[in-house]
Amino acid sequence: MPADRPEAARHLADPMRDGPRAARARTGLVKPVTDRQRPAKVKTKQGKTKPVTYEAQLDQALGKLHDEGRYRTFIDIVRHKGHFPHATWRRPDGSERPVTVWCGNDYLGMGQHPVVLEAMHDALDKAGAGSGGTRNISGTTLYHKALEAEIADLHQKEAALVFTSAYVANDATLSTLPKLFPGLIIYSDALNHASMIEGVRRNGGAKRIFRHNDVDHLRELLEADDPAAPKLIAFESVYSMDGDFGRIDEICDLADEFNALTYIDEVHAVGMYGPRGGGVTERDNNVHRIDIVNGTMAKAFGVLGGYIAASAKMVDAIRSYAPGFIFSSSLPPAVAAGCAASIRHLKGDQALRDKHQEGASILKTRFKALGLPLIDHGSHIVPVIVGNPVHTKMLSDMLLDDHGIYVQPINFPTVPRGTERLRFTPSPVHGPLETEKLIRAMDSLWSHCALNRQEMAG
């Protein structure tokens, strides 16, 4: 029996007593025939029931997305190593054309950096493709330990724990914390990422949602609860849709006053902010006020995976109790090696961070000069509001088809209805030529489509 399936052991007194199928049923690995779910039924106008037509249900769900202009279309591209942000787009008919990617999250172009690629090639040659198991069973390698040491150092914490993605790290950690702190109340910012929302929703404990960045509302919620109850405040440093910053110090002040833990998502900040790329909390010198930091290696670090960084005891507890960590195969060694190399490099490459911020500033200045409805909160994220899902998709398609510029439309439910947008993510490898081409295209399309040029207040 696999050692990472302890729940099965409780049901195996005499596993073959009634034959192999009955044994599997007792373990919970299959259900007895009598327990199989019957086909769902619906009532007709005559009151009779008939089995649900699943294909029709799927057609209805997908049709709704098409009708509302929210159906997601994947654009098939091949990025060109050493030439990012340039890529090749393969159309549905199989034809190809060159494009410039303006919506990627490889914020600093580290996905093609020689230091990262060399580390990955070296690990691949030495350790092979996969890790060979979960972290608990043969899947912890020297590459994983080295990566966690780099992350802990980056965030000035005692320890770190690597997950397969930042989504899993958020979901697994936030859903596990109530097991460690019975009666825990989680206070979550209204605009937190879906992974944080899911983790808070699944934990089964008490939750309070405070209005986005509204510390007065947060105070009201904290004051209304039992002073003795364990509490945790979950929020972000950079909110990816509007590009605004979390009110870190003010939230930490409340955490101190009400004896609450703090949990911050730095996914859209690590690598890009702070003297070593430790995020906004490093830039503002308040990381010591944060109990748990969540981050990613898939954006500024250009590879894959997510993590938390915290005290050694907190990390040990999450490692020991979080199913999303325990029962997942670990990152391939080559990926872990590439992540560690990228983090290590960016700790010393302030010039790349400066160039990134300069590029974002230039693009926002040019968009403002055109009168485009831009949201500018001072971060590297550049959202241009269109306000209609159909128009947003149309603009995205025209940029791609007519100008070879790829920017994905952002629609509900990712953003509220009426705030549909094109979100641009400039990087240090977007040069003056790429920027000028984008500016000309946006100016032309905004006039062609007769869209509003009144600037939106940030």
C-alpha span between 444 and 371 (Å, rounded): 13
DSSP 8-state secondary structure symbol assigned to residue 128 = -
Q: Of 109, 433, 112, 414, whose CA–CA distance to 272 is shortest? A: 109
Helix (H, G, I), strand (E, B) or coil at 283: helix
> Nearest 5 degrees, angle CA 413-CA 416-CA 421?
90
> Nearest 5 degrees, angle CA 98-CA 101-CA 106?
135
Contacts of 333 (CB under 8 A, 6+ apart): 123, 124, 126, 127, 128, 131, 141, 143, 144
C-alpha span between 84 and 226 (Å, rounded): 53
- 160: β partners: 309
Helix (H, G, I), strand (E, B) or coil at 165: coil
Residue 414 amino acid letter = T
C-alpha span between 437 and 405 (Å, rounded): 9
C-alpha span between 348 and 336 (Å, rounded): 19
- Write down the H helix ranges in 90-141: 114-127
Q: 3, exposed or middle or buried, with CB in 10 Å at 0-12, 13-18, 19+?
A: exposed
Structure tokens given for 48: 């009779």
Structure tokens given for 258: 């009400």
Widest Cα–Cα separation across the chain: 78
- Active-site annotation holder among 157, 207, 299, 393: 299
Contacts of 63 (CB under 8 A, 6+ apart): none
Annotation says 41 is catalytic = no
Q: Which residues are catalytic?
A: 299
